[in-house]
């Protein structure tokens, strides 16, 4: 593993610790969590910085007295301490299921240590829906997500490290580069790798490890001709027909042919894409192949659809959907390629988690909107479904339950729901088929409206029952912030500077200094925090005092 002194020199700096705090503030504000530090001094500096910013944090390490350590752990479990910063103390054997985030501020080359650290937050607990893994040292780039399946046997033999970095020489004779702590800790910026709402779909897509899986594709060289071929284990997949094997990934290889041209081939040597002469080819992250041309220019090929870009595309993730941004144009990563109109801004892209809609004023399909919250939106939308790399679609109808009806370029219609696959509805090839298709659409529309009405009724009933318990509502403090509880249920999280005791169904909250507003005890915002003071009467009348001293009367329902 890395040397402690080396890691400490790289990470135990004010700018680095400040970056750690910004990550917690952005992704886990108000949550309970564990931070893994490099050294005792590093842990104490992190805890001091977090505490100075109003986040209740404490450092714990091997030098912490046993009694003090026990007290701190108990305070952490009961919520009096929100963040515990530790040095290899909680890598294993620590049980606190309600940990809501884990921050990795310590690089490691040990897969076991990585999984132990991440695992401290992955226990189930009542009232806990998710755990945020904040990776500030790029461990996912080495090991992948905790949901991956690893070749443990190869790792234990030393043949592989991380998620597939080979320790032996490559087929073309090149050796892997040495990875240092400085490289691992390089600041790549903050990046959301997978969001909570798409994590289950990521896990579902993980293939179960197969003990009979074919050996990895490798290059082999014929001593007589000097040419290269491809093999799996001892089985030669191709004859030695390549001048160079630049790179191999999964079942593809980037090669130079005997005619000096370059290209991409599959495991059997069949040409997937042929290019002209180039100096080198290399597979990149995010499923790209880069080619360096003799004139110094690089081309970038999207391996999903084999489209080439002369400018390096920027990968934009919207829920389960990936798109490419080149200049101010957006491209789909589907075989049936979609390209947006020129100068498209991000304001015309709508992220619905399991699909993405892009406003397109040239759309030939009109979109009908059943959801009143969407009224007034433009009516032409292209659509991209999470995990679908075959085609893009046009939205025909937004249904009241959040599902959609789409059509492809061939005129086939599908119903798409969150967390489900697209279901074929029909087409308009014949009049009879068209009638059946329209009838099925109307049935789906009617059912969606019924489901929405039922959900709204249940929501109103739950709110009514909760508001009737106004006598049980009390403010509570967590760290430096205040929230509200109704019985054992937290209805307003501890995010406010101050929360006054409720008067009837409402309570005054202070977001920032002298910024008061009103929230119902179920958490519904009634008046945005904007007044220097707030007074609530039992009749539901609210008097807000502005900074100027003028008073405003608002009557709540």
Q: What is the pLDDT of residues 37-64, one digit of tens each?
A: 999 999 999 999 999 888 999 999 888 8
Query: What local confidence, expressed as pLDDT, does residue 9 receive?
Result: 80
Query: What local confidence, expressed as pLDDT, does residue 374 receive?
Result: 47
The sign one gets for the Cα dihedral 315, 316, 322, 324 is negative
Query: What local confidence, expressed as pLDDT, does residue 212 receive?
Result: 47
> Is the pLDDT at 535 greater than 60, yes or no?
yes
Task: Give residue limits of the domains in the chain.
Answer: 4-205, 217-309, 353-447, 470-555
> What tens digit of pLDDT does each residue of 123-158 get?
888 878 788 999 988 888 777 777 776 666 666 655
Query: Most confidently modeled of 155-169, 295-309, 476-490?
Result: 295-309
Q: Place 486 in a pLDDT band, splitting at 50, 70 and 90.
A: confident
Q: What is the dihedral of CA 67, 72, 73, 74, to 10 degrees?
A: 90
d(CA 90, CA 46): 16
With both helix axes pointing from N to C terminus, report the angle between 40-52 and 4-11 in degrees, rounded to the nearest 10. 30
Residue tagged 């160079």 (tokens)? 244
Q: Place 218 in a pLDDT band, splitting at 50, 70 and 90.
A: very high
Query: What local confidence, expressed as pLDDT, does residue 346 receive?
Result: 67
Query: Which of 375-389, 446-460, 484-498, 523-537 bottoms out in mean pLDDT, i.e. has the lowest?
Result: 375-389
Mean pLDDT of 104-117: 86
Q: Helix or strand or coil: residue 395? A: strand
End-to-end alpha-carbon separation of the chain, Å?
62
The sign one gets for the Cα dihedral 112, 113, 119, 120 is positive
The sign one gets for the Cα dihedral 372, 353, 190, 483 is positive
Distances (CA, A) of 91 to 87, 113, 240, 550: 9, 7, 49, 57
Written as one string, the DSSP assignment of 460-471 is HHHHHHHHTTGG
Q: Place 183 in a pLDDT band, splitting at 50, 70 and 90.
A: very low
Task: Of 326, 259, 247, 324, give the one whose Cα is nearest residue 290.
Answer: 247
Phi-psi region for residue 130, left (φ > 0), alpha (ψ -120 to 50) or beta? beta
Q: Which CATH number fits domain 217-309: 3.30.70.100, 2.40.128.630, 2.40.50.140, 3.40.50.1370?
A: 2.40.128.630
What CATH superfamily classification does 4-205 receive? P-loop containing nucleotide triphosphate hydrolases (3.40.50.300)
Q: Place 271 in a pLDDT band, splitting at 50, 70 and 90.
A: very high
Query: What local confidence, expressed as pLDDT, does residue 368 receive?
Result: 63
Query: What local confidence, expressed as pLDDT, does residue 85 receive?
Result: 93
Shared fold status for 4-205 and 217-309: no
Q: Are 493 and 508 a contacting pair, CB within 8 Å?
A: no
Written as one string, the DSSP assignment of 270-302 is -EEEE----SEEEEETTTEEEEE-TTS-EEEEE
Query: What local confidence, expressed as pLDDT, does residue 154 receive?
Result: 60
Q: Place 376 in a pLDDT band, splitting at 50, 70 and 90.
A: very low
């Amino acid at each position: 593993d890395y040397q402690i002194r080396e890691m400490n020199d790289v990470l135990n700096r004010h700018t680095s610790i400040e970056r750690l705090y910004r990550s917690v503030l952005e992704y886990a504000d108000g949550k309970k969590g564990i931070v893994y530090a490099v050294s005792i001094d590093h842990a104490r500096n992190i805890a001091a910085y977090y505490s100075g910013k109003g986040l209740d944090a404490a450092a714990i390490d091997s030098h912490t007295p046993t009694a003090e350590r026990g007290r701190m752990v108990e305070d952490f479990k009961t919520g009096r301490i929100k963040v515990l910063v530790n040095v290899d103390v909680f890598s294993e054997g620590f049980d606190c299921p309600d940990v809501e985030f884990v921050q990795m501020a310590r690089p490691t080359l040990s897969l076991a240590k990585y999984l132990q650290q991440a695992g401290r937050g992955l226990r189930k607990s009542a009232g806990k829906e998710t755990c945020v893994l904040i990776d500030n040292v790029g461990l996912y780039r080495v090991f992948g997500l905790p949901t991956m399946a690893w070749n443990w046997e190869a790792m234990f033999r030393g043949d592989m490290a991380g998620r597939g970095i080979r320790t032996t020489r490559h087929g073309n004779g090149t050796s892997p580069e040495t990875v240092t702590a400085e490289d691992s800790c390089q600041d790549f910026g903050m990046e959301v790798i997978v969001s909570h709402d798409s994590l289950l779909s990521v896990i579902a897509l993980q293939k179960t490890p197969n003990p009979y899986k074919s050996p990895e594709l490798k290059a082999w060289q014929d001593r007589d001709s000097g040419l290269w071929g491809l093999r799996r284990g001892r089985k030669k997949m191709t004859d030695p027909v390549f001048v160079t094997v630049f790179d191999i990934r999964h079942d593809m290889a980037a090669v130079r042919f005997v005619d000096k041209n370059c290209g991409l081939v599959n495991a059997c040597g069949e040409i997937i894409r042929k290019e002209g002469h180039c100096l080198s080819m290399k597979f990149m992250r995010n499923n790209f192949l880069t080619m360096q041309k003799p004139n110094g220019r690089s081309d970038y090929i999207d391996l999903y659809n084999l489209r080439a870009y002369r400018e390096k595309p920027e990968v934009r993730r919207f829920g389960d959907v990936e798109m490419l941004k080149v200049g101010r144009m957006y491209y789909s990563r589907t075989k049936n390629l979609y390209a947006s109109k020129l100068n498209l801004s991000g304001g015309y892209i709508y992220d619905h988690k399991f699909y993405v809609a892009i406003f397109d004023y040239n759309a030939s399909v009109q979109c009908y909107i059943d959801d009143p919250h969407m009224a007034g939106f433009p009516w032409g939308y292209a659509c991209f479904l999470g995990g679908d790399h075959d085609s893009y679609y046009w939205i025909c109808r937004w249904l009241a339950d959040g599902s959609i009806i789409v059509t492809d370029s061939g005129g086939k219609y599908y119903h798409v729901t969150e967390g489900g696959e697209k279901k074929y509805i029909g087409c308009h090839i014949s009049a009879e088929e068209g009638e059946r298709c329209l009838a099925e659409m109307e049935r789906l529309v009617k059912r969606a409206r019924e489901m929405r009405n039922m959900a709204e009724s249940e929501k109103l009933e739950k709110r009514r029952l909760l508001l009737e318990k106004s006598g049980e509502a009390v403010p509570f403090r967590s760290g430096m912030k205040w929230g509200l509880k109704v019985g054992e249920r937290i209805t307003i999280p501890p995010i406010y500077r101050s929360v006054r005791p409720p008067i009837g169904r409402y309570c005054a909250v202070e977001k920032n200094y002298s910024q008061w507003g009103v929230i119902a005890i179920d958490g519904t915002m009634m008046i945005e925090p904007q007044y220097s003071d707030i007074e609530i009467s039992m009749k539901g009348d609210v008097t807000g005092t502005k900074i100027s001293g003028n008073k405003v009367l608002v009557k709540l329902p």
